[in-house]
């Protein structure tokens, strides 16, 4: 995807500028650096202190590629942050489904563990009762 490539390049430049600032004028200087959002190529109008740039990108920037909130549960969708609301409403059913599935999987895992413990403790008795 076109935007993803831009994002990687610009994140590198954020890190680079941060390091440069701290090398040149000490770590306080990072606060003084006025920067544009690294995603301004994509259309973001944000400007601010270098220090807040990373926070802006990862929490609010609408032009930042972000993974779906349900990523850990199995949704691999990624898009600009401004498009995520639309995805969330479009994929509502899918999200409910994968949430339910992972809850079920966790419950199963928990039960398997419990059964495993029970069998471990009472394996002798269990074998006896099966024989009858
Ligand atoms: Zn931005
Ligand atoms: Zn999703």
Question: ∠ CA(19), CA(23), CA(29), 5° rounding?
Answer: 85
**Residues 72 and 128 reside in one and the same domain:** yes
**Residues 110 and 131 reside in one and the same domain:** yes
Least confident of 26-35, 51-60, 103-112: 26-35
CA of 124 to the centre of ligand 1 (A): 64
**Residues 43 and 89 reside in one and the same domain:** no
**Residues 51 and 111 reside in one and the same domain:** no
pTM given for the model:
0.59
Task: Give the range of the structural domain holding residue 84, as residue numbers without chain letter.
Answer: 68-132
Span 1-16, mean pLDDT?
A: 51
80-107 tens-digit pLDDT: 999 999 999 999 999 999 999 999 998 8
Tell which of 63, 98, 113 closes a domain: 63
Contact 57, 14 (CB under 8 A): yes
104-122 tens-digit pLDDT: 998 888 888 887 777 766 5
Contact 59, 69 (CB under 8 A): no
Tell which of 18, 37, 63 closes a domain: 63
**Residues 121 and 83 reside in one and the same domain:** yes
- How many domains does the structure of the chain reveal? 2
CA of 54 to the centre of ligand 1 (A): 9
Tell which of 12, 33, 63 closes a domain: 63
CA of 76 to the centre of ligand 2 (A): 7
CA of 90 to the centre of ligand 1 (A): 24
């Amino acid at each position: 995807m076109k935007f993803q490539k831009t994002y990687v390049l610009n994140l590198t430049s954020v890190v680079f500028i941060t390091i440069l600032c701290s090398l040149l004028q000490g770590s306080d200087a990072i606060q003084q650096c006025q920067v544009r959002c690294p995603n301004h190529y994509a259309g973001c109008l944000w400007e601010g202190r270098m220090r807040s740039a990373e926070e802006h990108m990862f929490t609010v920037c609408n032009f930042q590629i972000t993974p779906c909130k349900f990523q850990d549960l199995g949704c691999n969708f990624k898009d600009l942050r401004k498009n995520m609301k639309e995805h969330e409403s479009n994929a509502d059913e899918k999200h409910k489904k994968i949430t339910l599935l992972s809850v079920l999987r966790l419950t199963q895992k928990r039960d398997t563990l419990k059964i495993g413990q029970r069998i471990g403790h009472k394996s002798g008795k269990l074998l006896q009762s099966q024989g009858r």
